[in-house]
Amino acid sequence: MTDRIETKFIHSTGVDPLTGAVNVPIYLSSTFHQKSLDSFGPFDYSRSGNPTRLALEETIAKLEGGKRGFAFSSGMAAISSAFMLLSSGDHVLVSEDVYGGTYRFITEVLDKFNIEYTFVNMTDLNEMANAIQPNTKVVYLETPSNPTMNITDIEIAAKLAKANGCLTFVDNTFMTPLYQNPLELGADIVLHSATKFLSGHSDVVAGLAVTKDEELGNRLGFIQNTFGSVLGAQDSYLLIQGIKTLGARLGQSSESARTIAEYLHNHPLIEEVYYPGFSFHPGNPIHERQAKSAGAVLSFRLADKKSARVFVEHLRIPVFAVSLGAVESILSYPATMSHGSMPAEEREKRGITDGLLRYSVGLEHPDDLVQDLSQALAQVARRNGLSIAN
């Protein structure tokens, strides 16, 4: 019998084998005593391995259905470490609306190491197939993408990659293993900003990576230890605690997100809502096939920056901040926050205009969230000299 993922969130970490403690202990030890000159224990130095971090790494590997898990000091540390599997002269194919920090890493760091890249619209498989070059080694994607919620078919992208001898990396931050399992769909490495839903309380900055096979795991483990951007024991503990409640948290937030998406869709001041749960979202059929829910993040467009400003100033409940995936709702302004590191022209091309806002739905009562949106939008209407019925 195999347990469902919600059960795995609670029990994957297990109890402490030494004491039976229900919570994994926080091993605050940088180094470990060895028995003799030639007999070493399982741990020697915490950059190379720490028992609390290992408990987390084994947990995420089980949850994603992979062989090896790795915990890093941030999502960007996980992502950039995975890219270090590449060598000078290689080429990567990247979906064009990746996270702003990933875009910056590829264009400003990888570039310096003579690693070439092409950004493509991965919702278009022809475009993707045509962009693969003889030296392409990695296909990198994020689905749903941030913040415009474009959907890439993971299975087809991974097949195409494999047929061309490339690895597939998937940033699974938005869906988490609760809703989407890229390794089952053919990906080779799953990456997470665990800062978001996995930890869930706006308290930890962390990254996770899971490899599908042992050999790739050994290579990434070597980079983790060599580059050294590992997650500390206390943060590993906090992240384990966050993961236990992921099913309950993300389940409720995703239900509320649907209510909010529908409300916004019907509001006359909202020009567009990006939410993969709408049947008319162009990526909806693919998303429904590869993921179990539309998740808890949506974006929407007001007419312009002035409207966005009035709206943000009057919204009462969400915190206005970068980040997402927490118990509190988080509103952000991609143009200057998550995608501030992207040139204006590139942003506009991706639909990240001055009226676009991203809403990560938390655990507040959905009726309160809708009421709050309604009163803030009424203020926008008033400032714009409009009268609306909502």
Ligand X SMILES: *Cc1c(COP(=O)(O)O)cnc(C)c1O
**Residues designated as active site:** 47, 99, 171, 196
Nearer to ligand X, 109 or 386 (CB): 109
Tokens of 302: 């007001």
Candidates 36-44, 99-107, 310-318, 347-355: pick the segment binding ligand X (CB under 6 A). Answer: 99-107
Positions in 142-181 near ligand X (CB under 6 A): 142, 146, 171, 173
Distance of CA 377 to the CA centre of its chain: 29
Name the minimum Å distance from CB 347 to ligand X.
16
Name the minimum Å distance from CB 371 to ligand X.
28
Specify which residues 190 forms β-bridges with: 170, 210
Q: Which of 106, 110, 166, 205 binds ligand X (CB under 6 A)?
A: 205
Task: Write each residue from 217 to 256 as x if it is in contact with ligand X (CB under 6 A), else as -, in one continuous string.
Answer: ----------------------------------------
Name the minimum Å distance from CB 72 to ligand X.
9
Nearer to ligand X, 140 or 263 (CB): 140
* Pairwise CA distance, residues 100 & 94, whole Å: 12
334 binds ligand X per the rule CB under 6 A: no
Q: Which of 144, 200, 207, 283 binds ligand X (CB under 6 A)?
A: 207
Positions in 262-301 near ligand X (CB under 6 A): none
> b vs e for 71-102, b when ≥16 Cβ sit within 10 Å of the residue's Cβ?
bbbbbbbbbbbbbbbbeeebbbbbbbbbbbbb
Nearer to ligand X, 66 or 325 (CB): 325
Start-end of H helices in 33-175: 51-64, 75-83, 100-108, 125-131, 154-163
120 binds ligand X per the rule CB under 6 A: no
Residue type, 191: L
Residue nearest to ligand X (CB): 75
76 binds ligand X per the rule CB under 6 A: yes
Distance of CA 363 to the CA centre of its chain: 19
Query: Phi, psi at residue 7, to the nearest 5°?
Result: -70, -40
Name the minimum Å distance from CB 173 to ligand X.
4
* Pairwise CA distance, residues 276 & 179, whole Å: 13
> b vs e for 142-177, b when ≥16 Cβ sit within 10 Å of the residue's Cβ?
bbbbbbbbbbbbbbbbbebbeeeebbbbbbbbbbbb
Candidates 70-78, 115-123, 211-219, 253-261: pick the segment binding ligand X (CB under 6 A). Answer: 70-78
User: Is the separation of the CB atoms in 263 and 252 below 8 Å?
Assistant: no
Nearer to ligand X, 132 or 250 (CB): 250
- Interface residues with ligand X (CB under 6 A) are 74-76, 99, 101-102, 142, 146, 171, 173, 193, 195-196, 205, 207
